[in-house]
Amino acid sequence: MMSRVLARALLALLWGLQRLPLGVQAALGRGFGRLMHRLAGSRRRVALRNLELCMPELDEPARRALVREHFGWLGRSLLERGLLWHASPERLKRLIQVEGDVGLAERSERPVMWLVPHFVALDVAGASTQLFQKKMVASIYQAQSNPVFDEAMRRGRLRFGQGQVFARSEKALPLVRAVRKGWAFFNLPDMDFGARDAAFVPFFGVPAATLLAPARMARSLGMVVQPVVAEMLPGGQGYRVRFLPPWDDFPGDDDEAAARRMNRWIEDEIRRNPSQYLWVHRRFKTRPEGQPPLY
- Average pLDDT rounded to a whole number, residues 194-204: 95
* Reported pTM: 0.95
Summarised one tens digit per residue, pLDDT across range 102-128 is: 999 999 999 999 999 999 999 999 999
If we measure between CA atoms, which residue out of 80, 68, 127, 125 comes closest to residue 275?
68
Least confident of 1-5, 20-24, 101-105, 217-221: 1-5
Burial letters 139-164, b for 16+ CB under 10 A, else e: bbbeebebebbbebbbebbeeeebbe
Residue 2 confidence (pLDDT) above 80: no
pLDDT in tens, 126-184: 999 999 999 999 998 888 888 998 899 899 999 999 989 988 877 788 999 999 999 99
| Type of residue at 30 | R
Q: What percent of the chain has pLDDT over 90?
A: 89
Give one DSSP letter per residue of 189-239, joined into a string: --S---STTEEEEEETTEEEEEESHHHHHHHHHT-EEEEEEEEEPSTTS-E
In single-letter form, the type of residue at position 79 comes to L
pLDDT at site 87: 97
Q: Which of 76-85, 164-173, 191-200, 230-239 shows the lowest mean pLDDT across its residues?
A: 164-173
**194 or 170: which leads in pLDDT:** 194
